[in-house]
């Protein structure tokens, strides 16, 4: 979708005027291109004393083959191991590292701060200091968003030091272009981490994507296909033509059915009778906007059935029939509305907050089955849905974020591909917003 505002404020001459009057000037974000390195430039790393992630961090950066930044010059990424911070007085280590480092960060640069899950930090003071990292990272993300750069915090549980490779690769790369100001929790893996080909992490895996005929679902199908998965795309029978076009281009299968149909859960489980399914992406969703005072029951009920209840039934059918393979993944598509709420969307926001509840409540069960469940919560994504919005809310949706622009369907898809990777065994029960650090919501 075209973002006319971005084109105008970045045009020659007009860009100078825009800068002078203080208008946001969204930069073109780096996005993944096949064959590109994970980080296209030097990485500057640092650590507070007594950190426990140094060895793991060094190995990952060596494996990626990144250039290390020297004492001077630009850096494409800054990584700071804050796991050693055990007291509020130690937080000054953040200032000591980032004060000289941030001016060196390039356009579309990356900042990752690694910490210890506060509740497991070992003392009241350590818990307090680790929790403080959130405020630091979210503020830093707002300070660097103007140059298309992002900042995230990764809390690593003690014992999960070897589980951060796939998460760090994702966050350092252009694949996380529209993920900003997020807090990710990495725990011990639900299954042993397999050796994978980082260019084809889903090789040999089967992935089901609902709502795959267009929009975000089509991008998810394409991205999981790029990563080597055999994709089974599902959509309503009316969309079968578009669905086939999407999945056949990927060498996948089409499953035309309505997820709310009584027999849908069994039909889906039967489809995977031979070989099971490794990745299930619950993407199909609808909006049926009205304020609650004008909301007829059928409008409420239809949306809830599509966006939430059918997902619960499909999960149950797949788990009861043991069709979700070991080290399997369920990835749900929630929404920023489910976190922040939105006028006219009581039904939609309830369903999407329910999706988050489902992720939280099912994570321990899935862990026992050596599988994970996580969710993405997209913010303003450039799709047919958002192109049809009135100009006021549309422009607000785009500009009221640290990156001053909407995201692309591929940004949601890349985040799902990271959750889906067999190497992401330590990320379970997380909800990650893909919203450019939108000002709406938490
Ligand atoms: N576009 C955004 O900005 C945005 C923001 C936050 C969350 N989301 C969520 O992302 C997901 C995809 O959104 P999109 O913008 O690509 O929407 P879209 O309307 O373009 O695509 C949704 C797909 O789901 C399918 N679908 C709907 N009901 C179905 C059913 N009963 N059975 C099977 N398939 C069904 C539709 O046919 C369609 O192909 C949705 O869950 C949506 O709520 C989108």
Residue 418, judged by CB atoms within 10 A of its CB (0-12, 13-18, 19+), counts as buried
31 and 145 in a single domain? The answer is: yes
pLDDT band at 163 (very low <50, low <70, confident <90, very high): very high
Is residue 199 included in any domain, yes or no? no
Cα 363 from Cα 357, distance rounded (Å): 10
Q: Using most ligand atoms within 8 A of CB, pick from 216, 244, 265, 312 the residue to mutate for ligand 1.
A: 216
User: Which of 186, 215, 238 is the endpoint of a domain?
Assistant: 186
In DSSP notation, 157-172 reads -TT-GGG-HHHHHHHH
Identify any residues that bridge with 155 across adjacent strands, giving them in sequence order.
115, 185
Q: Using most ligand atoms within 8 A of CB, pick from 178, 385, 440 the residue to mutate for ligand 1.
A: 385
pLDDT band at 388 (very low <50, low <70, confident <90, very high): confident
pLDDT at 161: 96
172 and 233 in a single domain? The answer is: no
Ligand 1 atom with minimal separation from the 217 CA: 16
Cα 312 from Cα 319, distance rounded (Å): 11
- Summarised one tens digit per residue, pLDDT across range 98-156 is 999 999 999 999 999 999 999 999 999 999 999 999 999 999 999 999 999 999 999 99
231 and 153 in a single domain? The answer is: no
Report pTM.
0.96
Residue nearest to atom 18 of ligand 1 (CA): 215
pLDDT at 19: 60
Cα 74 from Cα 42, distance rounded (Å): 7
Query: What CATH number is attached to the domain comprising 102?
Result: 3.40.50.720
pLDDT at 348: 97
Place of tokens 């509020």: 88
State the residue range of the domain holding 72.
Answer: 25-186
End-to-end CA distance of the chain: 27
Ligand 1 atom with minimal separation from the 243 CA: 39
Handedness of CA 136, 142, 144, 150 (dihedral sign): positive
**C-alpha distance from residue 66 to each of 61, 108, 437 (Å):** 6, 16, 27
Cα 136 from Cα 417, distance rounded (Å): 28
Place of tokens 């505002």: 5
Number of separate domains in the chain: 2
Cα 179 from Cα 341, distance rounded (Å): 20
Percent of the chain with pLDDT over 70: 95
169 and 250 in a single domain? The answer is: no
Total residues found in the chain within this entry: 442
Ligand 1 atom with minimal separation from the 216 CA: 16
Q: Which two tokens stand for residue 300?
A: 């409420």
Give catalytic status of residue 348 as yes or no: yes
171 and 212 in a single domain? The answer is: no
Mean pLDDT for the stretch of residues 59-87: 96
Ligand 1 atom with minimal separation from the 384 CA: 20
What's the gap in Å between 88 CA and the centre of ligand 1?
Answer: 44
- Summarised one tens digit per residue, pLDDT across range 173-208 is 999 999 999 999 999 999 999 999 999 999 999 999
Residue nearest to atom 1 of ligand 1 (CA): 381
pLDDT at 327: 95
Is residue 10 included in any domain, yes or no? no
Report the C-alpha dihedral over residues 280, 284, 290, 292, rounded to 10 degrees.
Answer: -30
Is residue 62 included in any domain, yes or no? yes
Residues with CB under 6 A from ligand 1: 210-211, 213-217, 235-236, 239, 258-260, 283-286, 306, 333, 335, 378, 380-381, 383-386
162 and 31 in a single domain? The answer is: yes
Residue 240 — left, alpha, or beta (φ > 0 → left; ψ -120 to 50 → alpha)? Answer: alpha
* Catalytic residue (choose from 5, 155, 178, 348): 348
């Amino acid at each position: 979708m075209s973002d006319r505002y971005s084109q105008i404020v970045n045009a020659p001459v007009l860009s100078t005027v825009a800068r002078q009057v203080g208008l946001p000037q969204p930069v073109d974000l780096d996005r993944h291109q096949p064959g590109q390195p994970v980080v296209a430039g030097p990485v500057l790393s640092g650590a507070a004393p007594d950190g426990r992630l140094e060895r793991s961090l060094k190995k990952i950066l060596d494996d990626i083959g990144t250039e290390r930044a020297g004492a001077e010059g630009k850096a494409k990424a800054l990584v700071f191991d804050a796991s050693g911070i055990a007291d509020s007085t130690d937080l000054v280590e953040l200032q000591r590292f980032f004060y000289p480092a941030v001016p060196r960060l390039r356009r579309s640069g990356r900042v990752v701060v690694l910490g210890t899950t506060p509740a497991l930090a070992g003392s009241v003071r350590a818990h307090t200091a680790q929790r403080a990292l959130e405020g630091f990272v979210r503020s830093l993300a707002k300070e660097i968003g103007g140059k298309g750069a992002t900042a995230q915090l990764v809390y690593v549980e003690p014992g999960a030091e070897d589980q951060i490779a796939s998460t760090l690769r994702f966050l350092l790369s252009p694949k996380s272009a529209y993920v900003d100001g997020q807090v990710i929790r990495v725990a011990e893996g639900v299954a042993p981490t397999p050796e994978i080909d980082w260019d084809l992490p889903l090789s040999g895996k089967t992935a089901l994507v609902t709502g795959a005929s267009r929009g975000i679902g089509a991008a998810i199908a394409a991205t999981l296909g790029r990563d080597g998965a055999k994709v089974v795309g599902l959509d309503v029978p009316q969309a079968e033509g578009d669905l086939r076009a999407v999945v056949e281009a990927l060498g996948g299968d089409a499953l035309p059915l309505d997820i709310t149909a009584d027999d849908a859960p069994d039909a889906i489980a039967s489809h995977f009778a031979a070989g099971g399914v490794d990745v299930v992406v619950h993407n199909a969703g609808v909006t049926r906007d009205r304020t609650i005072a004008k909301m007829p029951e059928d409008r409420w009920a239809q949306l809830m059935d599509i966006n939430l209840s059918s997902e619960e039934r499909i999960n149950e059918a797949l788990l009861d029939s043991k069709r979700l393979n070991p080290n399997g993944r369920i990835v749900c598509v929630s929404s920023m509305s489910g976190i922040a709420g939105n006028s006219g969307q009581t039904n939609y926001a309830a369903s999407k907050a329910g999706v988050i509840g489902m992720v939280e409540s099912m994570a321990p069960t899935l862990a026992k089955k050596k599988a994970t469940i996580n969710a993405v919560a997209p913010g303003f994504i450039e799709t047919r849905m958002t192109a049809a919005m009135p100009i006021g809310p549309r422009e607000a949706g785009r500009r009221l974020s640290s990156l001053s622009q909407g995201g692309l369907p591929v940004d949601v898809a890349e985040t799902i591909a990271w959750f889906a990777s067999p190497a992401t065994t330590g990320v379970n029960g997380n909800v990650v917003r893909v919203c450019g650090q939108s000002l709406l919501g938490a």
